[in-house]
A = this chain, B = another copy of it.
Amino acid sequence: MSAGFETRLREAGYRLTPARRAVFAVLRQASTPLSAAEVWRLGRARHAGLGRATVYRTLPLLVRLGLARALLAPGGVRYQCSEGGTHRLVCRGCGAELPLSGCPAGALAQELSEKYGYLVEGHLLEFYGLCPDCQRRMRHEV
């Protein structure tokens, strides 16, 4: 799958550099979406002199190439590898996120592909609301 990264970069006319490897490797290994600052910090472990500007240049590049995805978490933008879709329940009270399995969007993707000529590569399905705790809390404490 790391080969996917290399070929994708090359076929798009970009060079394969230690900095880009480091940034992508950090995202690949992360078990949770990372902020740009976190990617920088972790990336320096892999590539000593990794620059901040390079990280900020590389992350959007990875997104444009379809190798990563930018998410809006409470607290700012975070990046993660883009493999397949992302599905979750987000509580607007406490920010808790509950991952979901099973997705109704897969079927729709094919349909959209035919209808609009889009090449659909992945999707993000987020439900917003209140978790049980926050529902209780909002009734009483506020």
Contact present for A118 and B132 (CB under 8 Å): yes
Residues of B within 8 A of A117 (CB): 131-132, 135
A107 in the interface, Cβ–Cβ < 8 Å?
Answer: yes
Annotate A116-130 by CB proximity to B: 1 below 8 A, 0 otherwise: 111111111111111
Q: A77-B72, A116-B98 are in contact. Are A123 and B121 (CB under 8 A)?
A: no
Could you tell me the distance in whole angstroms from the C-beta of A98 to the nearest C-beta in chain B?
A: 6
| Nearest neighbor of A91 in chain B, beta-carbon distance | B118
CB neighbours of A131 from chain B (8 A): 116-118
The reply to whether the CB of A42 lies closer than 8 angstroms to some CB of chain B is: no
Q: Is A18 an interface residue (CB 8 A)?
A: no
- Residues in chain B near residue A65, CB distance under 8 A: 92
Give the distance in Å from the alpha carbon of A121 to the alpha carbon of B93 in the complex.
Answer: 12
State whether A142 and B13 are in contact (beta carbons under 8 Å apart), knowing that A72-B71, A98-B116, A107-B104 are contacts in the complex.
yes
Are A63 and B92 interface neighbours, CB within 8 A? yes
